[in-house]
Amino acid sequence: QVQLVESGGGLVQAGESLRLSCAASRSISSMNIMDWYRQAPGKQREWVAFINYSGSTAYADSVKGRFTISRDNAKNTVYLQMSSLKPEDTAVYYCKADWGGFSNWGQGTQVTVSS
């Protein structure tokens, strides 16, 4: 098992930036995929971005060009750099790890973007 703890959320104005962190309880170098998801009030959880073990990344169309996912294996941490934030980015952001047929989620961090 791996425990995941997200941090870095907060209240910002539209156009500003935030960097989310997802700290893992053990090495992430063996994780096949690390994802970020988000869930807005009254909506289903949606996938935002992933990074795999080799560093390849992919993004949802809604965040492409504004968000960047990265990983620091030495710190067992995955980041989500969010720029040009919009009110529609308001959500609880969750980190997810996938390895060897298993997966686990963090508890989430709230991001609120005011207009």
| Percent residues over pLDDT 70 in the chain | 100
- Token couple for 100: 């060897």
Model confidence at 37, in pLDDT bands (50, 70, 90)? very high
Q: pLDDT per residue over 39-89, tens digit each?
A: 999 999 999 999 999 999 999 999 999 999 999 999 999 999 999 999 999
Confidence class for position 29, pLDDT limits 50, 70, 90: confident
Place of tokens 């508890």: 107
The answer to whether 114 and 85 are in contact (CB under 8 A) is: no
